[in-house]
C-alpha cells in the first residue's frame, strides 16, 4: 500500500447518489462541504451509487480541493451502459432516486476493470484514484472475481495507476476468499463488524491479520439501526426490516450506553476503531448535520468500563 495512510473517518458517498431520496446538487455540495469542514479527508464512492451521480457530484466538489489533501476510493465490477427507454423510470429497484437512463452490467474481466476505472475518472474529472474496491463480487460470480478481477486490479496497482486495491462486500465468505488470494491491501467490511453483530471476527479479521490486509469498516450503523439512541421496530437494518433478536440485543446495548452517558451512535462509531486491524470507518449521511455529528462522535469520550460491561452482559464478544 506504499505511503498511503487512510484517515480514521471517511464519508461514504452513496447518499449524494440519491440513495432512498433525491437531493439537489446544492444540498449534495452542502453535505460534502460539511464533511470537509469537519476534517473528513477520505471519500468513498462507486458507479453503483445513483448510476454515476455520486461520482459526478463528488468529483465536482473535490476539484475545488488540493489533490494531495484527500484520499478517494471508488469501485469496479459494474460498468454503466445506456438503458434505452429507461429514462421514464427511477432506479428504485436499487434504492436510488435517479432516472434509469443507464443500467449496470457486471464485468470482471481485465478489460472491464480498466474500462470501469477510465469511466469513473471521466465522471469524476479527477486524474487518479487512491483505492479501488471490487464491489460485491458474490452478487455476480465470486470465482470470476477471484480469478480475473482481483489480479487485474493488482496489475493496475503494480503499474502505479492506483495506490491500493481491495474488495468491498457484506458477505463474510466472499471477504474471506478475497483476503486469502494474498493480493489485497484493504478489505471494506460492510455491516459484518459492528456493535450489533461481529460475524467477521470468526475468520475474516484473523485472515486480514495473517495477510497484512487493513480493514475499512463500512455500514457500522447497520443501515440505520445503530444511528439513533432509541432503536425502534421500524428501524432500517441491512436495507430492510430488523429481526426481533437483533433489535432486542441492540436495545440492551443502548440501555447500557445510557448508563455510562454515551450515545449509541458514538459507541457504534468508536467500537471497531479500538481494533488495530481497522484503519478507518466510513459513514454516510444525507444531511450536513449528520456528517458534523459523526465527525464529533469520533472525539467524544467513551469510558473503557462501557466495553467491559457490554462484554460482561454478553452483548459484545469479550
Q: Give the residue from 143, 151, 71 showing the smallest Cα distance to 110.
A: 151
The counts of H helices and E strands in the chain are: 11, 10
Collect all residues with Cβ–Cβ distance below 8 Å to 7 and sequence separation of at least 6.
Answer: 40, 41, 42, 71, 280
Pairing of strands 78-82, 71-76: unpaired
Query: Exposed/middle/buried for 3, CB within 10 Å: 0-12, 13-18, 19+?
Result: exposed
Quick check: is 49 catalytic? yes
**Cβ atoms 78, 106 nearer than 8 A:** yes
Collect all residues with Cβ–Cβ distance below 8 Å to 62 and sequence separation of at least 6.
Answer: 43, 70, 72, 124, 126
Position of cell 446538487? 25
CB atoms within 10 A of CB 214: 19
Catalytic residue among 11, 42, 49, 193: 49
Could you give the angle at which helices 110-124 and 150-158 cross, rounded to 10 degrees? 60
DSSP string, 190-229: ESSSSSS--GGGTTHHHHHHHHT-EEEEE-TTGGGTTSSS
**Beta bridge partners of residue 105, listed in sequence order:** 79
Query: Hey, what's the cell of 81?
Result: 451502459
Active site residues per annotation: 49
Amino acid at each position: 500500500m506504499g505511503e498511503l495512510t487512510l484517515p480514521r473517518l471517511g464519508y461514504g458517498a452513496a447518499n449524494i447518489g440519491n440513495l432512498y431520496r433525491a437531493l439537489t446538487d446544492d444540498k449534495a455540495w452542502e453535505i460534502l462541504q460539511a464533511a470537509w469542514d469537519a476534517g473528513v479527508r477520505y471519500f468513498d464512492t462507486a458507479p453503483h451509487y445513483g448510476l454515476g451521480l455520486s461520482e459526478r457530484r463528488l468529483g465536482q466538489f473535490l476539484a475545488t480541493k488540493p489533490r494531495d489533501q484527500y484520499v478517494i476510493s471508488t469501485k469496479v465490477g459494474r460498468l454503466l451502459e445506456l438503458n434505452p427507454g429507461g429514462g421514464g423510470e427511477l432506479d428504485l429497484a436499487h434504492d436510488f432516486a435517479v432516472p434509469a437512463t443507464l443500467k449496470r452490467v457486471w464485468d470482471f474481466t481485465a478489460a472491464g476493470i480498466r474500462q470501469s476505472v477510465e469511466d469513473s475518472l471521466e465522471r469524476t474529472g479527477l486524474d487518479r484514484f487512491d483505492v479501488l474496491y471490487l464491489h460485491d463480487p458474490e452478487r455476480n460470480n465470486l470465482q470470476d472475481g477471484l480469478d480475473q478481477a482481483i489480479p487485474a486490479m493488482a496489475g493496475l496497482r503494480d503499474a502505479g495507476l492506483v495506490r491500493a486495491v481491495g474488495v468491498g462486500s457484506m458477505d463474510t465468505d466472499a471477504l474471506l476468499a478475497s483476503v486469502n488470494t494474498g493480493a489485497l491491501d484493504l478489505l471494506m467490511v460492510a455491516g459484518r463488524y459492528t456493535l450489533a453483530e461481529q460475524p467477521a471476527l470468526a475468520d475474516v479479521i484473523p485472515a486480514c491479520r495473517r495477510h497484512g490486509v487493513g480493514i475499512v469498516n463500512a455500514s457500522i450503523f447497520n443501515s440505520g439501526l445503530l444511528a439513533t439512541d432509541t432503536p425502534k421496530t421500524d428501524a432500517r437494518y441491512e436495507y430492510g426490516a430488523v429481526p426481533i433478536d437483533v433489535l432486542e440485543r441492540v436495545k440492551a446495548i443502548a440501555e447500557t450506553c445510557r448508563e455510562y452517558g454515551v450515545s449509541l451512535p458514538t459507541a457504534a462509531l468508536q467500537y471497531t476503531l479500538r481494533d488495530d486491524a481497522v484503519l478507518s470507518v466510513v459513514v454516510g449521511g444525507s444531511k450536513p448535520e449528520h456528517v458534523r455529528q459523526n465527525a464529533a462522535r469520533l472525539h467524544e469520550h467513551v469510558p473503557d468500563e462501557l466495553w467491559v460491561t457490554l462484554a460482561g452482559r454478553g452483548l459484545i464478544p469479550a
